[in-house]
Chain A
Amino acid sequence: MAFDSTLKTGVSRRAVLAGVGAAGALAATSFSTPVRAQQATLRWWSPQAAPAQREAYLFQIAQFEKANPGVKVLFEPTSDEAYAQQLAAAFASGQVPNIVTHLPSFAVQDYWAAGLLEPFNDVITALGPQNFYEGANRIYEIDKGKYAGTGVGNTAANMLWVRKDLMQKASIDAIPRTWDELRNAARKMQGGGIFGAPLPYGRNSMTSLIFIGVIHQAGGQVFTPDLQVGIDTDKTLAALDWYKSMRELCPAGATNYSWGDSLTAFVSGATATGIYAGRVLANVTRQNPGIADSITCAAYPTISKDVEPWTFNDFPSVFIPKAAKDMEMTKKFAAHLFAPEGYIKQLLAAPGHVLPVLKPIAADPNYTADPIIKKFQKEVDLMAASAAGGYNLGFESAKHKPNTKGGKVVNSHVIAEMVQRVCLNNENPKTVLGETAKKIEEIMKS
């Protein structure tokens, strides 16, 4: 199945919006609707479970339950660091959730390759493939014509966040574009209890994922386009060298930082720069409004201006395990998640963090009228553009094949361990890199 994801010219915005509204309605009717009430309990897993997001999910659930008497939906939070383990146990025991959202696309590719997922084509068809951004679903088409899932949003996860007030105080005119500029700026802004940056050095997925971005920002790659291990290069060594040099500009506890810690460090004002997605906007607005007028973001710097920025988009996904019960109702619920009212509520629970994958939603006044989106329109637009051109280990560039072992490489922590060995233990980078390349090769062969 090939989807035409381009909008035909001549279709008015009103018509498009109506189309998505219809998609929501279609979602409720396109799967065979039982005449009598159907008893079913659906389980929904997601690692994105901040209180405001949960509230939005409960709204979507309530709407669905109202439209489908007898159906109950349970929301069960997982976490970015533990979903792999929890899902492995769930698949092994056969006690799988009906629907899983917000996991990175490489996890979906991994499970699809193991034959554990239900094709998502029906749901995409119900939503209208033309409503998705161009190319939004290509990373899920691992086998020709079959979609392992789809995106529930986009995220530009490694944006550089800066404090303009601190930059001004340190006489820094422009947002750093290269690593040297960033290091110098961080050094100038560090002091008085404020650190330069909250880069992660923990043995966790954040360190792996961020450092994969740093390798690309050095002009390198982890795999070649035909998925041979390609990490053992001078570019990775340069990335390690720079990352190590940044250690003294990060808080002592960065050796254990994961996503939440890194975010909090910037939001609380403990660091002058940040590395995160759009959740910064909502958290600063709610938790530290004093700096809200001073923050802005840019693509994370690269080794030189010759190397283009590389945005890590984890392509927050939605997929359905093949062993899920009540499949038809599950697909109906999956489509319901994109119904405009609930989907916009979900997106606005963390404005700018999870960005819409449906074009009409991004243009919907109910979405754009949000005060945080309005206030930070420039930043949101930049993140949306960066995410649209973003990649991750499951799909390192437009030239790369989908990597169904990407999730396994991340979850093995071999890349985070490499960072720790070089940056914290001061081990020889060449030796460590060589050993890491071998470990990745073993994972690819396993």
Chain B
Amino acid sequence: MLLSSQYAALGVLLIAPTVLVFCAVIVYPLVSAIYLSLFSIYTPTLQGKWVGLDNYAKLLASGEFWGALRVTLVWTIGTLVLQLVFGIALALLLHQNLVFRSLARGLILFPYFVSTVVAVLVWRWLFNDLYGILNHVLLAAGLIDMPLDWLGQMPNAMVSLILVGAWKYFPFVVITVLARLQTIPDHLYEAAEMDGAGPVARFFDVTLPQLRDVLLVVILLRAIWDFKEFDLIWLMTGGGPVTSTQTLPLLVYRSAFGLNEMGGASAVAVLMMLVMLVFMALYIRAQRQE
């Protein structure tokens, strides 16, 4: 009995650091955000008053929140799908016996490594209506008469954002999928070939099922990261034109530091978290049922 008590105390002692760290980095910020969302707080002074659920009521009644949620979903789904398509395609290509394969595998990571600020500056120059190479090439090819406004009108702004997002983050899909591809046993492909399966059938019947687990993780992680993406969108369009590319993280930033309403911003952040939790729970449940 005494021994088991000692073991229990030791167990608590050993687990305590983990619990403390968890509380410090997860529980405290979470509780703080929820707590702040119940106040009206002026950001520079952090002083305010209790308003209860008013911030939530105002948000849910405002078109701005729902508009930003819709934009966030369009951006997340759009860029995620492209990341997966490009990522899997490139991973399959880099899995072949190519000349300079190692070099190509290294170079493919370049967009992922380059700083977002630098990437956005480069893309903004490419998209520039007066000096951008994209408009220059399209004009020279006679495809357009006047320069296109890539970032200042819809749907161009959203399409441009999704494309740049896909370019920036698809290497993550490439490296994770490529790692899994290298562990798929060859005999599965040999057996499929003997059964008369062509390249397409082998992809859908062998490769894709083998990638399922890794894709589940990739989709989960990338969906979370894309859902809360801030810097790329802020630097590319600032949320415009009007609010056509204003996602929820931009709304949080604008509320907290543009309008100096920290309470309202916290309420958006908490709702963002809830939306993500609901989507992730549904997604994982659907995967398990399959």
Complex interface: chain B residues within 8 A of A204 (CB): 238, 240
Q: Which of B42-50, B180-188, B189-197 faces chain A?
A: B42-50
With both chains docked as a complex, state the minimum distance between the C-beta of B117 and any C-beta of chain A, in angstroms.
12
Given contacts A251-B130, A268-B130, A270-B130, contact A256 B240 (CB under 8 A): yes
Complex interface: chain B residues within 8 A of A420 (CB): 240-242
Q: Which of A280-288, A354-362, A409-417 faces chain B?
A: A409-417
In the bound complex, do residue A203 and residue B239 qualify as a contact, i.e. CB atoms below 8 Å apart?
A: yes
Task: Select from chain B the residue with minimum beta-carbon distance to A407.
Answer: B260
CA distance A116 to B149 in the complex (A): 42
Complex interface: chain B residues within 8 A of A373 (CB): none
Task: Select from chain B the residue with minimum beta-carbon distance to A207.
Answer: B240
With both chains docked as a complex, state the minimum distance between the C-beta of B157 and any C-beta of chain A, in angstroms.
9
Interface centre among B130, B153, B257, by most A CB within 10 Å?
A: B130
Complex interface: chain A residues within 8 A of B130 (CB): 251, 253, 265, 268, 270
CA distance A111 to B46 in the complex (A): 13
Given contacts A91-B45, A114-B45, contact A252 B147 (CB under 8 A): yes
Interface centre among A254, A412, A413, by most B CB within 10 Å?
A: A413
Q: Which of A84, A111, A265, A425 contacts B258 (CB 8 A)?
A: A84
Complex interface: chain B residues within 8 A of A89 (CB): 43, 257
A85 close to chain B: CB less than 8 A: yes
Task: Select from chain A the residue with minimum beta-carbon distance to B43.
Answer: A88
With both chains docked as a complex, state the minimum distance between the C-beta of A69 and any C-beta of chain B, in angstroms.
34
A402 close to chain B: CB less than 8 A: no
With both chains docked as a complex, state the minimum distance between the C-beta of A264 and any C-beta of chain B, in angstroms.
8
With both chains docked as a complex, state the minimum distance between the C-beta of A21 and any C-beta of chain B, in angstroms.
38
A183 close to chain B: CB less than 8 A: no
B interface residues, how many (CB within 8 angstroms): 32
CA distance A202 to B239 in the complex (A): 10
A446 close to chain B: CB less than 8 A: yes
A261-275 vs B: 1/0 string, CB under 8 Å? Answer: 000010010100000
B164 close to chain A: CB less than 8 A: no
Complex interface: chain B residues within 8 A of A421 (CB): 242
Task: Select from chain A the residue with minimum beta-carbon distance to B149.
Answer: A252
In the bound complex, do residue A251 and residue B259 qualify as a contact, i.e. CB atoms below 8 Å apart?
A: no
Q: Which of A92, A255, A265, A268 contacts B43 (CB 8 A)?
A: A92
In the bound complex, do residue A91 and residue B43 qualify as a contact, i.e. CB atoms below 8 Å apart?
A: yes
With both chains docked as a complex, state the minimum distance between the C-beta of B101 and any C-beta of chain A, in angstroms.
40
Complex interface: chain A residues within 8 A of B248 (CB): none
With both chains docked as a complex, state the minimum distance between the C-beta of B156 and any C-beta of chain A, in angstroms.
10
With both chains docked as a complex, state the minimum distance between the C-beta of A436 and any C-beta of chain B, in angstroms.
12
CA distance A254 to B243 in the complex (A): 16
Q: Which of B44, B147, B256 contacts A87 (CB 8 A)?
A: B44
Given contacts A114-B44, A424-B241, contact A252 B148 (CB under 8 A): yes
CA distance A201 to B152 in the complex (A): 9
Task: Select from chain A the residue with minimum beta-carbon distance to B46.
Answer: A92
A77 close to chain B: CB less than 8 A: no
B230-266 vs A: 1/0 string, CB under 8 Å? Answer: 0000000111111100000000011011111110000
Task: Select from chain A the residue with minimum beta-carbon distance to B246.
Answer: A203
Task: Select from chain B the residue with minimum beta-carbon distance to A96.
Answer: B44
With both chains docked as a complex, state the minimum distance between the C-beta of A239 and any C-beta of chain B, in angstroms.
18
B151 close to chain A: CB less than 8 A: yes
In the bound complex, do residue B44 and residue A253 qualify as a contact, i.e. CB atoms below 8 Å apart?
A: no
With both chains docked as a complex, state the minimum distance between the C-beta of A106 and any C-beta of chain B, in angstroms.
14
CA distance A446 to B48 in the complex (A): 12
B210 close to chain A: CB less than 8 A: no
Complex interface: chain A residues within 8 A of B253 (CB): 85
Task: Select from chain B the residue with minimum beta-carbon distance to A424.
Answer: B241
B129 close to chain A: CB less than 8 A: yes
CA distance A324 to B261 in the complex (A): 23
Complex interface: chain A residues within 8 A of B148 (CB): 252
B141-152 vs A: 1/0 string, CB under 8 Å? Answer: 000001111111
A408 close to chain B: CB less than 8 A: yes
A interface residues, how many (CB within 8 angstroms): 37
Complex interface: chain A residues within 8 A of B254 (CB): 413
CA distance A92 to B42 in the complex (A): 9
CA distance A128 to B44 in the complex (A): 32
Given contacts A253-B130, A270-B130, contact A408 B241 (CB under 8 A): no
B207 close to chain A: CB less than 8 A: no
A434 close to chain B: CB less than 8 A: no
In the bound complex, do residue B258 and residue A446 qualify as a contact, i.e. CB atoms below 8 Å apart?
A: no
In the bound complex, do residue B45 and residue A116 qualify as a contact, i.e. CB atoms below 8 Å apart?
A: yes
In the bound complex, do residue A425 and residue B149 qualify as a contact, i.e. CB atoms below 8 Å apart?
A: no
Interface centre among A92, A443, A446, by most B CB within 10 Å?
A: A92
With both chains docked as a complex, state the minimum distance between the C-beta of B133 and any C-beta of chain A, in angstroms.
14
With both chains docked as a complex, state the minimum distance between the C-beta of B249 and any C-beta of chain A, in angstroms.
13
A115 close to chain B: CB less than 8 A: yes
Task: Select from chain B the residue with minimum beta-carbon distance to A427.
Answer: B242
With both chains docked as a complex, state the minimum distance between the C-beta of B35 and any C-beta of chain A, in angstroms.
15
Complex interface: chain B residues within 8 A of A201 (CB): 152
Complex interface: chain B residues within 8 A of A91 (CB): 43-45
CA distance A115 to B130 in the complex (A): 45
Q: Which of A85, A252, A411 contacts B152 (CB 8 A)?
A: A252
With both chains docked as a complex, state the minimum distance between the C-beta of B191 and any C-beta of chain A, in angstroms.
55
Q: Which of B42, B45, B46, B258 contacts A413 (CB 8 A)?
A: B258
In the bound complex, do residue A203 and residue B258 qualify as a contact, i.e. CB atoms below 8 Å apart?
A: no
A87-101 vs B: 1/0 string, CB under 8 Å? Answer: 111011000000000
Given contacts A84-B258, A253-B149, A270-B130, contact A203 B45 (CB under 8 A): no
Within 8 A of B (CB), among A77-123: 81, 84-89, 91-92, 111, 114-116
Complex interface: chain A residues within 8 A of B146 (CB): 252
Within 8 A of B (CB), among A411-439: 411-413, 417, 420-421, 424-425
CA distance A253 to B56 in the complex (A): 37
Q: Which of A254, A408, A417 contacts B260 (CB 8 A)?
A: A408
B176 close to chain A: CB less than 8 A: no
* Nearest 6 pairs of A and B residues by beta carbon: A255-B152, A203-B240, A91-B44, A253-B129, A85-B257, A252-B149
- Could you give 13 example pairs across A and B, Cβ below 8 Å? A84-B257, A84-B258, A86-B257, A88-B44, A91-B45, A202-B238, A203-B242, A251-B129, A255-B153, A256-B151, A256-B238, A417-B243, A424-B152
| Residue positions of B touching A, CB distance < 8 A | 42-46, 128-130, 146-153, 237-243, 253-254, 256-262
| Residue positions of A touching B, CB distance < 8 A | 81, 84-89, 91-92, 111, 114-116, 201-204, 251-256, 265, 268, 270, 408, 411-413, 417, 420-421, 424-425, 443, 446
